[in-house]
Chains A and B, each alone.
Chain A
């Protein structure tokens, strides 16, 4: 039974990585621009389409093709902040949300126009070639059972740990990180202190766009069918991870992003016990309800700091 449990948990590694990266991107934008970026998933999908197109049409390997994809994500992120937000007339936080929603519409409409058939499973050939030579899985015999880990998941875990590690290091020890933390605590004061908040927010949008694409390519690489809205679920989970872990810190949402997929597959795992077989259909419902109860008890999130309101 323990082996089944471990195997189930290994199956969630990929979605943990994707949600964690997406959650970090959402948090970065939430803290520097005080808005939720609803286009996070769509920008990611756009970049993923670029990578997929390069892979299928020109045979560019994924690890090179992901670079132009990420660059597209960065470009769109910068465009949103520099061209749209900066030029709008007193755009409120809700207004910013609506703008990102307009961007979702543009990308949803634009993807089929640019790439023709919108829905495809782009990296399937990649998996088939892998299957020809090498086995796609590691299989460990332990605890009286077989634990299966896909190699894809392991690569993704390494990438995620490195990328998020570097970003957290930069947040803590670089000048940019100091600027982000200042802007996050109070944009107006940060500006008075001589921090160029425009650069800080623009860079944050760029990083968030690029991270989104990275997550999308990792997700699609797992054999998922891509469509303009294929990242929406991930994005929703990233938002929820944000409030579960607490938006007031940067590591909180990442912790939330680990808890949500783990919780979902743990509920799925319970189906192995007698009398619980039907529960796997309800896994998302159970996880979301549990999460909601946690947030009601601790509104600032699991790791969030309590913010005192001044009148």
Chain B
């Protein structure tokens, strides 16, 4: 990678994140002035939570090649910790965040150790079992959790939906930056090596245990933080009846990563917006879809199947294909007829 390349916008994660954050802040500003509806921006915030979870999962699936279906359980852990720390004990958000990360660390390492013994689809089903354990456990502990809006505080200030939106955006930006640096670091390369061949990676001196543990810990922490943010933002959850902590959510996150492109963080974000955002942000406005909400679910399903059938690299691949074509055109235009013969 040349120096110029690294400085250009297309390769600089910080610039990309900054643009993304500015756009989303603008959305909220527009909503404050009544130009676009507050419900739309609220839906954007909600979708961003899933994008955070999906980014963590992207690292796990796309870079480390480990499939997990336990995401929903980890979300539940974050949500319940948030509920107990903030609502029941009246402690500040920061403490909830620290405890969430600590617990996720422990559980992530546990799953990481399991992944050393069991691989592939077996691991996916085992993590599904783990998520079911967590869901049943949480259901027995308390079936419905609800945080009072006055208790949602950051640095002593009560935050509303709007504040929650900015909080989610800030967390997203930080985690996105961390993740994009991580995947371009030796750690990221070690993970890709491990994905391509465990034996070859080990022969190169890469410790399977270290990186698998790391991948699972990161994915678990992101999912738990997502759950915590969900609790701060939506403030209520009924474990026994909602689908949030079931297999559906784990599959949707997996779907978001695959649709977006398993090796692209922005693609994954886009995938999360397709699976969770289209429905809540746009289609819920059109009267036809309000009358038949089931159609939206069907459309998402068809979309998922089409993307997987014809674009194995996800939406990120479609964009990079377009980019390659443009580049090829530019080259063809720049070089006169002689250049073509060479090619």
**In the complex, what distance in Å separates the CA atom of A239 from the CA atom of B292?**
32
In the bound complex, do residue A243 and residue B125 qualify as a contact, i.e. CB atoms below 8 Å apart?
yes
- CB of A240 within 8 Å of the partner chain: yes
What residue in chain A is nearest B134 (Cβ atoms)?
A: A285
In the bound complex, do residue A103 and residue B301 qualify as a contact, i.e. CB atoms below 8 Å apart?
yes
- CB of A289 within 8 Å of the partner chain: yes
**In the complex, what distance in Å separates the CA atom of A101 from the CA atom of B248?**
9
Give the bracket for the number of chain A residues in contact with chain B.
35 or more
What secondary structure prevails in chain A residues at the interface with B?
A: helix
- For A113, the chain B residues whose CB sits under 8 A away are 292, 294-295, 298
**In the complex, what distance in Å separates the CA atom of A106 from the CA atom of B255?**
14
- For B310, the chain A residues whose CB sits under 8 A away are 88-89
What residue in chain B is nearest A36 (Cβ atoms)?
A: B121
- CB of B312 within 8 Å of the partner chain: yes
- For A109, the chain B residues whose CB sits under 8 A away are 294-301
0/1 interface trace, chain B 107-126, chain A, CB 8 Å (1 if under)? 00000001001100110111
Partner of B308, one of A91, A108, A236: A91
**In the complex, what distance in Å separates the CA atom of A30 from the CA atom of B120?**
12
One of A6-14, A92-100, A135-143, A185-193 contacting the partner: A92-100
- For B114, the chain A residues whose CB sits under 8 A away are 296
0/1 interface trace, chain A 163-191, chain B, CB 8 Å (1 if under)? 00000000000000000000000000000
What residue in chain B is nearest A246 (Cβ atoms)?
A: B122
- CB of A158 within 8 Å of the partner chain: no
What residue in chain B is nearest A118 (Cβ atoms)?
A: B294
- For A107, the chain B residues whose CB sits under 8 A away are 301
- CB of B27 within 8 Å of the partner chain: no
In the bound complex, do residue A103 and residue B140 qualify as a contact, i.e. CB atoms below 8 Å apart?
no
What residue in chain B is nearest A235 (Cβ atoms)?
A: B247
- CB of B304 within 8 Å of the partner chain: yes
In the bound complex, do residue B312 and residue A89 qualify as a contact, i.e. CB atoms below 8 Å apart?
yes
- CB of A127 within 8 Å of the partner chain: no
**In the complex, what distance in Å separates the CA atom of A99 from the CA atom of B307?**
9
Smallest distance from the beta carbon of B314 to chain A beta carbons, Å? 10
- CB of A126 within 8 Å of the partner chain: no
- CB of A229 within 8 Å of the partner chain: yes
- CB of A242 within 8 Å of the partner chain: yes
Smallest distance from the beta carbon of B213 to chain A beta carbons, Å? 16
Segment 273-303 of A: residues with Cβ below 8 Å from B: 281-282, 284-285, 288-289, 291-292, 295-296, 299
- For B297, the chain A residues whose CB sits under 8 A away are 105-106, 108-109
Q: Can you report 22 A-B residue pairs in the complex whose CB atoms are below 8 A from each other?
A: A36-B125, A89-B309, A89-B311, A91-B312, A95-B308, A98-B255, A98-B304, A102-B255, A103-B305, A104-B248, A104-B251, A105-B304, A109-B296, A109-B300, A229-B243, A236-B128, A236-B132, A240-B132, A285-B133, A285-B140, A289-B133, A295-B118
- Those 9 A-B pairs whose CB atoms lie nearest each other, nearest first: A105-B301, A109-B297, A102-B304, A109-B298, A106-B301, A88-B309, A102-B305, A109-B294, A102-B301
